[in-house]
Every structure is written in structure tokens, then in C-alpha cells.
């Protein structure tokens, strides 16, 4: 039974190998404190800045200090919501668990069992709390983890122990934020404009974001941030929240006169989508909390550090990738593609990816999807000749696939019309002339796995560009057409897991009409994301800037397109295009046969620079300056030891100031002295008005001066950029 609040728990060994934690538990890692009250269901007393060493008496006083007066609540006494808030606690805000047994057992009252705590040598800790409510026939296992990087991860498993089937309406896990978090930042967007930031006041009421697209979505909240009024990249406190799920999901920010604020999230379930018979369980997605004492860059650093610490995180240098889509589209021809491969190799590409159009009857986007056989019409001798040519030039070969989709005009759809997600009486309205293959059907799953496995076994393929080009609309599963997004999402995960187990050396990119499937759960199974189908460098500056809030640069595909964007028609200099794509996993999306010798030579110089600095870009800390001039963007990467850094100063519009003002170069060691100078090929003065310090010799000054005073930016016309290198002087 839970102990009374005035009792202190000892820490004997738990039979399962963990330790029984004290009633008041203080977890610390990487500058973050998480203080939990385990007298009942876990309640968070503090999530934020490290509180230092606190003994039992100090923790007891902390609980007393934050304890609310028992006034104004809807029930007698105090109401402090747990990480799974419920009406049984007296909480009338958004409940953590909704569901019933045909209208009964809708308000469980969980009693926590004996928790266990496992601490790692790396500073992380995992708390597991079992709970049960015999009256409703439900059991719960809560997992709360503080990672070595200071991330808070939560997940819950709900089990029905008997009675009629229990229909899960939703399971949302939550963390509190303090009253000084008065600003909310999240994201909207659409195709070719992913992750567009939007700020609102964090006022009383519920800000609910629901995604029903069946994939993470263009308009996902992405990272929901509650922050102080002065929130910026390098200033203010920030509490970031991410739901790691690639299907439908909900994100909540809630404040009332009862509570200063909660952030919550989980899966969005359809009616009857999860019904638990006796002994069956439902496990929620992981939800992640990232605290930043000094702004958004600190929030990002925790996500990046956690991703980079994973065993499966890409360790080899991220190869320069040429993708053929905007070069040839569906016009596949061996001679043309081998010439393109030669041009790619000449500028330094290390991977060549054949995009859509290589299979079945796929000559345009209206047919053939689902027929994962090499087209006899276009490739009568198979892909072998192209693959051999590509690998002989020292490049890896990659291939585009869209395994979750099917064209009605395909052999697969004609043979198995019942393999489509649909309602019993109708097909969903088509999108891009395609439907969604029901991978929760075992036979459909087995077919797709067999076809992909065969392609990878029979061909020397090192990389799959895995696309997903439509939302899941009217996505019914099985003969009754019950909601199928939950099962489809889990099936996609199983498919990726099975394929990676069979072909562990093959890398996979998550592409979804561009950047519509970017989340931490899909990234457990993929090696990078395609940030957007829009390669317009001006648009990409914002897309990549904000994508970097969650994922590090090495996981973000960023390509150099042709001079005129295929999506927007905007033209830009090669330096602006390449300098923007440099800060990511660099690639090329351009018919190099149409580039002249000077353009190829300039592109080759940018590729060479990328190869020289990718070790820095893909291991260092991302930094973003909070500039006063909205026309100028400054961002960069600083080595973890502060020894080296590369910055971009970019003009994205006409500035109201002329000559240009000063810009900060943030993130450097404030006590160290740095040699700061232009970095070619993105260096040099622009526009004919030289800046006094801007030259090959540069300047020498401290990191504190560079962050607090800054340097005079060179005069830049709109859509121009320069690179600045800062190296510590020992």
C-alpha cells in the first residue's frame, strides 16, 4: 500500500533487479532535476533546472513549499494532478485516461504498487510504477525515465484484467510547467512549408492540437514549447514536449486557476480502435520532455545528445547523395542515368539514388505503385548495369520505394482489392491516384516484406528512400472497416524492423511527401529524414532551422537544387543554395548535365568543404543567434569542446539598416580566444562594400566578445550568405 506522506521509504533491492526508491525521489542528470512524489500515483513537484544535492529533509520541505492551499478546488483538500491525471484525484482538466466497458468503468482510481528504480552508470535512471484498480479491472505500468542527457521520457502500458472488453479512448501522459511559462511555441505548415513556427500566449484554457492524417503530418506541433516571455534560442527558460508517434496523435497545453500549467500528449485513437479483452494490453507512445535553462538551443541539445547516444545512430560520415528526381523525374534511360552518375562522381558525390519510375508500369504517378518488380519495359536487363556503373565510380546505390501505398491501376490492386484500407461500402477518395495498403493484414505485410527483401538481396543496394505520399483518409481495417491507423502505424514499424534485421547495412530515409513524417519513433528505424520537397534555399532556411530543434543536422536531408526551384520557381545563386544545404546531410537534386563547367567546379568546391567540415557539423552543438534584424539569420555549429565552429550569416530580405549592423556568434567558450575569418568557398566580401575586418587574416578576440558584442556583418543583398570560421587559439 502507498505510505503516508510523512513516512520515508528505504531503498531495499527489488526482486526484479531495481531498487525501491524513496517516497520523495530526486533524479538529476545534465543540469536537470526531476522531483517526484511517490506517495500515490507519481506527481512531479519540479521539472527544470538542477536543484543541487537535496537530503530527505530538504525534499520534504520542497514538497511543503510547493503544496497548494486547499482552497478553490472542486473537492475538499488539495488537488495535485499526477502524470496521468484523473477525476478520481479531483482533477477536472483533461484526463490522462479515457475509456469504458460499454459506458462502465470509465473513471478508474489507480492505487500505485511498489515502484522500482534502476540507475545507470551514465547518470540516467528509469522508474517503473505498477498500479491497479480492481474495481474497473485495469492494471497500469508507468515508466518515467530521466536520460543521461536530461530528457524526461514517459510511457504507460494499460492491461485489462477481466470483464467485458475495455475500449481505450485515449492515454495521455503529462508534465507540469511553472506559472512563469507564459508563452507557447508550436508549429503549423503544409506541403513545401513544413514546421512553420507560431507563438501564442499560454493563457487559461486548453490548447489542443490533434493530428488525424495517419502520419506525423505537415502541421504537427512537432515540439510544443512552453517558455518565459523572453524565450529565444539563447535566452529564456523553455520546456519542450514531443510525442514520438508516426500516426494520429494529440498534444495538449493546459492552464487553469487550479494549476499553473501542464503539457501532455499521446496517441489519438478512433472509436473502437483499441478494445482490450481480458489479458490484452495497450502501450502508449513515448512522450519526451526537454528543459532548456537558456533557451531553445538548450532544448535542442538534449534531443540531439540523446539521438547521438543511440547504438544505431549513424557513425560513418554522411555521404554526399545525388537523388535523380528533379534531374529526370520518370524519364528513366540507362545512358542518361550513367552520364548523370559520371557527373555526380566528378563533383564528389558518394551515393546515387534512383527515384520513382523504375518498377512495374510506373511511367507516371497514376499506375504501378505496389508492383515492386523491376520494369521489363524500362530496364529489360534489370538494374544491374546501372548499379555496377554507379559502384564502379565509387558511389553507393540507392533506390526509391513507397511500400505502404498502391495505385488502383496496378497488378497488386487488381489481384487483391481487399488489401486496401477502406470502409465496407466505399473506397476512400483517391489522392495522387493512390490508396493505402493495409499492412495490418498479415498476407499484405508478408507480400511487401518479401518484395523488399528480394530487391535488397538480389541487388547491391545500400540505401532506401522510403516515401509515404498521402494521408490516411477513411482508413478502415478488415471486413468491418474499423479504424485502422493504430494497427497500420504499428505494422509499418514492424516492417521496418524486420527489413533492418535482414539487411542491417542498408540505410533508410523517412520521406513523406517531403517532411510529413519526422518524429523520434520513426527515427528509431530510419537514418535520416527528408525535410521538405521544397529545395528553394530561401524556404529551406526556415524549414531546416526549425527541423533542427528536434533532430541534429546529420539526420536531415538537405540538397542543392538547380538555379530555379522546381517548386517555387525562385532563382538563387549557387552559393546561397549550397551554403544553405551545407548545414544538414548534404545532397544534390539537380540535372548536372545541364550545369556548365564553372557551375560544376563551384559545386565541387562546396562538396569538398562539406567533406572537410561534416565531422564538425555532425557532432557539434547547433547554435542560433537571437538577432535584432529579422532580415539577417545567424546560425552555426560549435564543436563540443569549443575548439572549432562554423557559422552562416545569411540575408533573407532587405534590411532596414545600411550599412549592416553587428551580429553575435554564439556558443563559443567565453574565456577562450578565437581566430575568426571567412570560410571559402562561402567567404569573401559581397556587394562591393568591404567590411573592415572581413579578409583572409580576420580578427582574434574572445568568445565572450563574439557573443555579447559580435562582429560587423558584411553587406549582403537579399538571398546571399557568407560563412565564418572560428578556431580557438591555444
86-105: burial string, b at 16+ Cβ within 10 Å, e else:
beebbbebbbbbbbbbeeeb
| Residues 602 and 629 placed together within one structural domain of the fold | no
Strand order in 673-678's β-sheet? 621-624, 632-638, 644-651, 720-728, 673-678, 699-702
- 216-272 per-position pLDDT tens digit: 999 999 999 999 999 999 999 999 999 999 999 999 999 998 899 999 999 999 999
| Residues 294 and 393 placed together within one structural domain of the fold | no
pLDDT band at 682 (very low <50, low <70, confident <90, very high): confident
Residue 102 carries which DSSP code?
T
Closest CA to 168 of 253, 26, 285: 285
Structure confidence at residue 708 (pLDDT): 96
What is the rounded average pLDDT of the residues 345-363? 98
| Residues 562 and 633 placed together within one structural domain of the fold | no
DSSP 306-331: HHHTSTTS--S----EEE-HHHHTT-
| Residues 352 and 334 placed together within one structural domain of the fold | yes
Residue matched to cell numbers 560563412:
723
Q: What is the CATH number of the domain that holds 658?
A: 2.60.40.1180
| Residues 281 and 160 placed together within one structural domain of the fold | yes
φ, ψ for residue 630, nearest 5 deg: -65, -10
Q: Give a yes or no: residue 2 inside a domain.
A: no
Domain that holds residue 166: 24-308
Q: Of 278, 308, 338, at which residue does a domain stop? A: 308
Structure confidence at residue 541 (pLDDT): 98
Q: Under a CB-based contact definition with an 8 Å cutoff, are residues 42 and 129 in contact?
A: yes
The number of folded domains in the chain is 3
This model's pTM is above 0.85: yes
Structure confidence at residue 688 (pLDDT): 54
Residue 388 carries which DSSP code?
H
Between 323 and 688, the higher pLDDT residue: 323
Q: Give a yes or no: residue 9 inside a domain.
A: no
- How many Å apart are CA 514 and CA 333, to the nearest integer? 25
pLDDT band at 643 (very low <50, low <70, confident <90, very high): very high
- 144-192 per-position pLDDT tens digit: 999 999 999 999 999 999 889 999 999 999 999 999 999 999 999 999 9
Structure confidence at residue 6 (pLDDT): 31
Q: Give a yes or no: residue 597 inside a domain.
A: yes
- 405-450 per-position pLDDT tens digit: 999 999 999 999 999 999 999 999 999 999 999 999 999 999 999 9
| Residues 250 and 226 placed together within one structural domain of the fold | yes
Ramachandran assignment for 569, one of left (phi > 0), alpha (psi -120 to 50 degrees), beta (any other): left
Structure confidence at residue 290 (pLDDT): 99
Cα angle 244, 249, 253 (rounded to 5 degrees) comes to: 90
| Residues 100 and 249 placed together within one structural domain of the fold | yes
Q: What is the CA radius of gyration of the chain?
A: 27
- How many Å apart are CA 730 and CA 727, to the nearest integer? 9
Q: Of 603, 619, 635, at which residue does a domain stop? A: 619
What is the rounded average pLDDT of the residues 716-727? 95
Kindly tell me the burial class for residue 564, based on how many C-beta atoms sit within 10 Å of its own C-beta (0-12, 13-18, 19 or more). exposed
Catalytic residue among 355, 371, 533, 644: 533
Report helix, strand and coil shares of the chain as percent, to nearest 5. 20, 30, 50
Q: What is the CATH number of the domain that holds 444?
A: 3.20.20.70
pLDDT over 60 at 654, yes or no: yes
| Residues 437 and 396 placed together within one structural domain of the fold | yes
3-state secondary structure of 5: coil
Closest CA to 140 of 163, 169, 115, 103: 115
pLDDT band at 279 (very low <50, low <70, confident <90, very high): very high
| Residues 65 and 173 placed together within one structural domain of the fold | yes
Q: Give a yes or no: residue 314 inside a domain.
A: no
- How many Å apart are CA 146 and CA 291, to the nearest integer? 11
Own/partner pairs, 48-56, CB within 8 angstroms, 24+ separation: 48/178, 48/237, 48/239, 48/291, 48/293, 49/237, 49/291, 49/293, 51/26, 54/26, 56/8, 56/22, 56/24
CA distances from 543 to 176, 549, 578 (A): 29, 10, 15
pLDDT over 50 at 95, yes or no: yes
Contacts of 707 (CB under 8 A, 6+ apart): 664, 665, 666, 667, 668, 670
Instruction: Centre a 10 Å sphere on the Cβ of residue 8 and count the other Cβ atoms it contains.
Output: 12
Q: Give a yes or no: residue 16 inside a domain.
A: no
Q: Give a yes or no: residue 59 inside a domain.
A: yes
Mean pLDDT, the chain, integer: 95
Structure confidence at residue 684 (pLDDT): 61
Instruction: Centre a 10 Å sphere on the Cβ of residue 402 and count the other Cβ atoms it contains.
Output: 24
Give Cα 702 distance to the centre of its chain: 34
Tell me if residue 612 is catalytic: no
Structure confidence at residue 1 (pLDDT): 28
For 433, the enclosing helix (H) or strand (E) is none
CA distances from 130 to 2, 38, 208, 287 (A): 12, 11, 29, 18
| Residues 252 and 331 placed together within one structural domain of the fold | no
What is the rounded average pLDDT of the residues 656-681? 95
Structure confidence at residue 445 (pLDDT): 98
Q: Under a CB-based contact definition with an 8 Å cutoff, are residues 337 and 354 in contact?
A: yes
3-state secondary structure of 405: strand
Q: What is the CATH number of the domain that holds 55?
A: 2.70.98.60
Catalytic residue among 356, 371, 467, 644: 467
What is the rounded average pLDDT of the residues 644-665? 94
Residue matched to cell numbers 513545401:
192
Tell me if residue 37 is catalytic: no
Q: Of 308, 330, 350, at which residue does a domain stop? A: 308
Q: Under a CB-based contact definition with an 8 Å cutoff, are residues 293 and 31 in contact?
A: yes
| Residues 253 and 280 placed together within one structural domain of the fold | yes
Q: Give a yes or no: residue 212 inside a domain.
A: yes
pLDDT over 90 at 694, yes or no: no
Q: Give a yes or no: residue 369 inside a domain.
A: yes
| Residues 555 and 528 placed together within one structural domain of the fold | yes
Query: Could you tell me the maximum CA-CA distance found in the chain, to the nearest angstrom?
Result: 80
- How many Å apart are CA 51 and CA 67, to the nearest integer? 18
Amino acid at each position: 500500500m502507498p505510505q503516508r506522506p510523512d513516512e520515508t521509504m528505504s531503498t531495499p533491492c527489488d526482486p526484479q533487479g531495481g531498487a525501491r526508491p524513496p517516497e520523495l525521489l530526486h533524479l538529476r542528470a545534465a543540469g536537470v532535476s526531476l522531483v517526484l512524489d511517490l506517495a500515490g500515483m507519481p506527481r512531479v513537484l519540479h521539472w527544470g533546472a538542477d536543484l543541487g544535492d537535496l537530503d530527505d529533509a530538504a525534499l520534504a520541505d520542497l514538497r511543503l513549499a510547493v503544496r497548494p492551499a486547499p482552497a478553490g478546488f472542486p473537492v475538499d483538500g488539495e488537488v495535485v494532478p499526477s502524470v496521468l491525471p484523473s477525476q478520481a484525484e479531483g482533477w477536472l482538466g483533461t484526463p490522462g485516461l479515457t475509456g469504458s466497458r460499454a459506458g462502465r468503468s470509465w473513471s478508474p482510481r489507480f492505487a500505485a504498487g511498489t515502484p522500482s528504480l534502476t540507475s545507470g552508470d551514465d547518470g540516467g535512471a528509469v522508474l517503473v510504477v505498477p498500479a491497479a484498480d480492481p474495481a474497473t479491472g485495469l492494471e497500469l505500468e508507468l515508466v518515467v525515465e530521466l536520460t543521461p542527457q536530461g530528457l524526461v521520457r514517459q510511457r504507460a502500458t494499460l492491461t485489462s484484467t477481466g470483464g467485458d472488453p475495455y475500449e481505450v479512448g485515449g492515454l495521455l501522459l503529462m508534465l507540469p510547467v511553472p506559472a512563469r511559462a507564459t508563452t507557447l511555441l508550436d508549429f503549423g505548415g503544409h506541403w513545401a512549408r513544413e514546421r512553420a513556427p507560431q507563438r501564442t500566449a499560454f493563457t487559461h484554457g486548453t490548447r489542443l492540437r490533434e493530428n488525424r492524417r495517419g502520419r506525423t503530418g505537415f502541421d504537427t506541433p512537432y515540439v510544443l514549447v512552453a517558455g518565459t516571455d523572453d524565450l529565444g534560442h539563447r535566452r529564456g527558460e523553455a520546456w519542450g514536449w514531443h510525442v514520438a508517434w508516426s500516426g494520429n496523435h494529440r498534444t495538449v497545453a493546459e492552464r487553469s486557476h487550479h494549476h499553473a500549467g501542464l503539457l501532455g500528449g499521446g496517441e489519438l485513437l478512433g472509436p473502437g480502435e483499441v478494445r482490450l479483452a481480458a489479458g490484452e494490453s495497450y502501450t502508449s507512445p513515448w512522450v519526451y520532455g526537454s528543459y532548456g535553462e537558456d533557451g531553445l538551443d538548450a532544448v535542442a541539445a538534449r534531443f540531439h545528445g540523446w539521438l547521438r547516444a543511440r547504438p544505431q545512430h549513424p557513425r560513418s560520415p554522411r555521404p554526399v547523395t545525388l537523388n535523380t528526381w528533379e534531374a529526370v523525374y520518370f524519364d528513366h534511360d540507362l545512358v542518361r542515368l550513367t552520364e548523370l552518375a559520371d557527373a555526380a562522381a566528378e563533383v564528389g558525390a558518394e551515393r546515387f539514388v534512383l527515384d520513382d519510375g523504375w518498377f512495374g508500369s510506373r511511367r507516371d504517378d497514376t499506375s504501378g505503385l505496389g508492383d515492386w518488380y523491376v520494369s521489363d519495359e524500362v530496364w529489360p536487363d534489370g538494374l544491374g548495369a546501372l548499379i555496377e556503373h554507379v559502384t564502379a565510380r565509387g558511389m553507393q546505390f540507392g533506390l526509391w520505394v513507397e511500400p505502404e501505398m498502391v495505385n488502383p491501376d496496378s497488378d497488386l490492386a487488381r489481384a487483391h482489392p481487399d488489401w486496401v484500407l477502406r470502409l465496407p461500402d466505399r473506397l476512400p477518395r483517391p489522392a495522387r491516384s493512390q490508396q493505402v495498403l493495409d499492412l495490418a493484414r498479415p498476407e499484405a505485410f508478408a507480400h511487401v516484406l518479401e518484395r523488399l527483401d528480394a530487391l535488397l538481396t538480389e541487388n547491391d543496394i545500400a540505401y532506401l528512400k522510403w516515401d509515404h505520399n498521402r494521408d490516411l483518409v477513411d482508413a478502415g481495417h478488415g471486413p468491418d472497416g474499423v479504424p485502422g491507423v493504430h494497427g497500420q502505424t504499428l505494422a509499418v514499424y514492424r516492417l521496418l524492423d524486420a527489413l533492418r534485421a535482414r539487411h542491417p547495412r542498408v540505410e533508410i530515409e523517412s520521406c513523406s511527401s517531403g517532411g510529413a513524417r519526422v518524429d523520434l519513433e520513426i527515427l528509431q528505424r530510419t537514418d535520416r529524414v527528408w525535410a521538405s520537397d521544397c529545395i528553394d534555399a530561401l524556404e529551406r532556411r526556415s524549414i531546416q532551422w526549425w527541423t533542427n530543434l528536434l533532430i541534429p543536422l546529420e539526420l536531415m536531408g538537405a540538397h542543392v537544387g538547380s538555379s530555379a526551384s522546381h517548386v517555387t520557381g525562385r532563382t538563387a545563386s549557387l552559393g546561397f543554395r549550397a551554403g544553405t544545404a551545407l548545414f544538414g546531410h548534404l545532397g544534390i537534386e539537380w540535372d548536372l548535365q545541364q550545369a556548365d563547367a564553372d557551375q560544376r567546379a563551384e559545386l565541387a568546391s562546396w562538396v569538398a568543404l562539406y567533406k572537410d567540415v561534416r565531422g564538425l557539423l555532425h557532432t557539434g552543438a547547433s547554435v542560433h543567434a537571437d538577432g535584432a534584424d529579422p532580415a539577417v539569420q545567424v546560425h552555426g555549429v560549435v564543436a563540443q569542446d569549443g575548439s572549432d565552429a562554423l557559422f552562416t550569416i545569411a540575408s533573407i530580405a532587405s534590411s532596414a539598416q545600411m550599412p549592416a549592423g553587428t551580429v553575435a556568434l554564439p556558443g563559443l567558450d567565453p574565456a577562450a580566444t578565437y581566430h575568426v575569418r571567412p570560410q571559402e568557398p562561402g567567404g569573401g566580401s559581397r556587394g562591393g562594400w568591404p567590411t573592415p575586418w572581413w579578409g583572409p587574416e580576420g580578427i582574434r578576440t574572445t568568445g565572450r566578445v563574439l557573443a555579447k558584442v559580435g562582429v560587423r556583418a558584411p553587406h549582403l543583398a537579399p538571398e546571399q550568405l557568407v560563412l565564418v570560421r572560428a578556431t580557438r587559439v591555444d
